[in-house]
Amino acid sequence: MSQLSAIPPTITVVPTDDPTALPLGLPDAGLSYAAVAVDVPLAHLDRPFDYRVPSAMLEEVVPGCRVKVRFAGRLRDGFVLEVRDHTDHDRVQPLERVVSPEPVLTPTVAGLVRAVADHWAGSFADVVRLAVPPRHATTEKAEPRQRKLPTADELRARVGEHGPGPFAPGVGGPALLAALGRGESPRAAWQPVPCAAEAGDWAYGFALAAAATAASGRGSLLIVPDVTDLARLTAACTEVLGADTFVSLHSDLGPSARYRAFLAAVRGQVRVVIGTRAAAFAPVTDLGLVALWDDGDDLYAEPRAPYPHTREVLALRASREQAGALFGSYARTAEVADLVARDWLRTVTPPREVFRRLAPRPRIASDDERALDRDPAARAARLPRDVFAVMRAGLAAGPVLVQVPRAGYLSSLVCRTCRTPVHCPRCSSPVSVPEPRVVRCTWAGHPVTGWECPECGDRHWRAPVVGAARTAEELGKAFPQVAVRRSSGERRLDLVEDEPALVVATPGAEPRAAHGYAAAVLLDASLLLQRMDLRAAEEALRRWWNATALVRPGTAGGTAIAVGPPESPTLQAFLRQDPVGTAERELGERQAAGFPPAARMVAVEGPSATVAEVVDAVLAETLPPDAAAPTVLGPGPVAAPAHSEDDWVRTSLTVPAAQGAGLVTRVRTVLATRTAYKAEGTVRVRVDPISIS
């Protein structure tokens, strides 16, 4: 049983319950009281507190405004959740001051923040920091810019002018736009064709969906993984909606620009908000549509506690606000497949024959080392003959994309004879070649010379994994008359011209070609598949299909060839061009193994003794009669924070998805007990962690 009932009072401020279900108290003539969410992240204090509103502040204190309050003897920031004329408590402290009367935390967003905190075993204070940007006083006091929004008739005309666009090939695509235009709230998992043509232009499709929703008098929230995708979506929304009809929210904006865009949304000056992960909580008025592109991208996993995922945040928001939902991607995740299986989403995808006709033609080339050694044409760049043929044919028609999983030069070395990994003689760390003729260990940077294999005595090594820099160098030798361009996270290209060139890029940094690539080569497929992670196959397919989407359609001769073991089930899935069926099979395997999304997983990380204490306390909590005891996985080692001197472990608890809320509640109860009694040891709790290895 929980010990919360025995927690002694430690503060003088009196807590309230959920402000949406407050008990009726006796009214106090002439007095007003504010329920305040105080910026205190401790689990046992995660609730609103009542404060008296001084008469001088009556006009400024409104729900959603920022205030300063005295809490446990210190001044704290807070948000007013509700203003009432009564309280159930005898001693209530006054508000110290109003920081800003601007209602930046709307009741709808406040409810979402509470739901997200409950879902991920977090606190309101932690989540509200993700929802409301820091105040910029100068921007807040400035005169708001006047915007001329198109009328509903003008928006309907624009939607009709553009037609269904990329939704046209999909079964149910045009009907989806029509339903949004009628004010309905359909929910769809959209599968555009991965090709550089209108059928694969997801940004254009999102803009059309937002325009149809705006024509019904409602707002839209469109979320993408990074600023590169945001730039593409911005161009599409400008074309379809107009430049003055939306705002952009993302972390790269300066404080002033970000707060200005946020205020435009909270004041109802725009109907559409676009942005990255941070915009998922944006206060859109009369929300009618939430749209998310490429939900499998790990950028959607919030790195700060309580670690919510944007996909689930938007799903919660759509359910709470009765809004439509559009989750689009070239490669479907098991989580979206689960939402489809539960009929929360409906599939919008082209018929099989249309998909295969429009998508670039997929091929596989074996990367078997013996086959490469026997192939004279492959010796220069360590590529199979079929890949050279695809490159030559592609270069005759335009640029060719070469996707390399790793950046750098030679990221690892092994003995030429026995394949024993090369380690530094001084510190035993792995050895790499970050640039030509520079050999050093990866931990301390020691130069490595005179190495000798401890197994066979050979003094020569080779590189089983070649980075993007070395690949570009080798391709330059193999194709001396062709320009070779590189793009990676450190130095990213945005666009390449429609002329013959080899573009070597790491996953996620592939630039777009003006008229699409003539071909794409996906190197080292086996390297992606060797990752020790539950989502390795899913992530590999996502990267491959995202690269394929930059290639001209099959009807224009586009080709995509992957280099890897042909017998790999993941590569065979790439060859079949069936993202939907592949995701359904992945979901079935997760269900059989008892992993998310078929089950709810709560991972507890920290020093081994602390983790064991928390897990034991959770398991000791009384279970409902129909609930099953959690399955315990672990403990296993995890990386510790830089400030910790202890070795950290992770223990995971899993239950069927239907019982997940109860498990999270029990974990929150244990955490509240620990913070109330100031228990020693730090723990980190992740609900349905994105990485399961």
Inside any domain, residue 520: yes
Q: Give the single-character DSSP code of 639.
A: P
Asked if residue 189 and residue 67 are part of one domain, the reply reads: no
Inside any domain, residue 509: yes
Query: Count of domains in the chain?
Result: 4
CA pair distance 295, 237, nearest whole angstrom: 20
Task: Pick the last residue of a domain from 83, 103, 123.
Answer: 103
Asked if residue 604 and residue 563 are part of one domain, the reply reads: no
Asked if residue 204 and residue 254 are part of one domain, the reply reads: yes
Domain that holds residue 482: 360-411+465-576
Give DSSP secondary structure letters for 84-108.
ESB-S-S--PBP-EEEE----S-HH
Asked if residue 182 and residue 282 are part of one domain, the reply reads: yes
Inside any domain, residue 642: yes
User: What residues in the chain have per-residue pLDDT under 50?
Assistant: 1-29, 377, 379-380
- Is 249:274 a contact under the CB 8 Å cutoff? yes
Inside any domain, residue 609: yes
Task: Pick the last residue of a domain from 576, 607, 633.
Answer: 576
DSSP reduced 3-state for 668: helix
Inside any domain, residue 296: yes
Which amino acid, one-letter code, is at 365? A
Structure tokens belonging to residue 605: 């990380």
CA pair distance 309, 301, nearest whole angstrom: 5
- Is 205:188 a contact under the CB 8 Å cutoff? no
Q: How high is the pLDDT of residue 446?
A: 78
CA pair distance 48, 114, nearest whole angstrom: 11
Q: At 385, which helix (H) or strand (E)?
A: helix 385-395
Q: How high is the pLDDT of residue 24?
A: 36
Nearest to 459 by CA among 413, 411, 427: 413
Asked if residue 305 and residue 190 are part of one domain, the reply reads: yes
- CATH code of the domain in which 338 resides: 3.40.50.300
CA pair distance 268, 248, nearest whole angstrom: 14
Asked if residue 165 and residue 99 are part of one domain, the reply reads: no
Inside any domain, residue 425: no
pTM of the model: 0.88
Which amino acid, one-letter code, is at 669? T
Q: How high is the pLDDT of residue 374?
A: 55
CA pair distance 111, 116, nearest whole angstrom: 9
Structure tokens belonging to residue 607: 């020093």
Asked if residue 376 and residue 348 are part of one domain, the reply reads: no
- Is 104:282 a contact under the CB 8 Å cutoff? no
The tally of CA atoms less than 13 A away on the side-chain side of residue 218 is 23
The dihedrals phi and psi of 631, each to the nearest 5 degrees, come to -85, 130
Task: Pick the last residue of a domain from 312, 340, 355.
Answer: 355
Asked if residue 561 and residue 604 are part of one domain, the reply reads: no
Inside any domain, residue 561: yes
In tens, the pLDDT along 581-637 reads 999 999 999 999 999 999 999 999 999 999 999 999 999 988 888 888 999 998 999
Structure tokens belonging to residue 422: 């090369």
In the chain the first and final C-alpha atoms are separated, in Å, by 33
Asked if residue 496 and residue 542 are part of one domain, the reply reads: yes
Asked if residue 376 and residue 404 are part of one domain, the reply reads: yes
Q: How high is the pLDDT of residue 29?
A: 46
Asked if residue 37 and residue 61 are part of one domain, the reply reads: yes
Structure tokens belonging to residue 228: 């590169």
Which amino acid, one-letter code, is at 626? D
Inside any domain, residue 589: no
Asked if residue 367 and residue 497 are part of one domain, the reply reads: yes
- CATH code of the domain in which 397 resides: 3.40.50
Q: How high is the pLDDT of residue 622?
A: 85
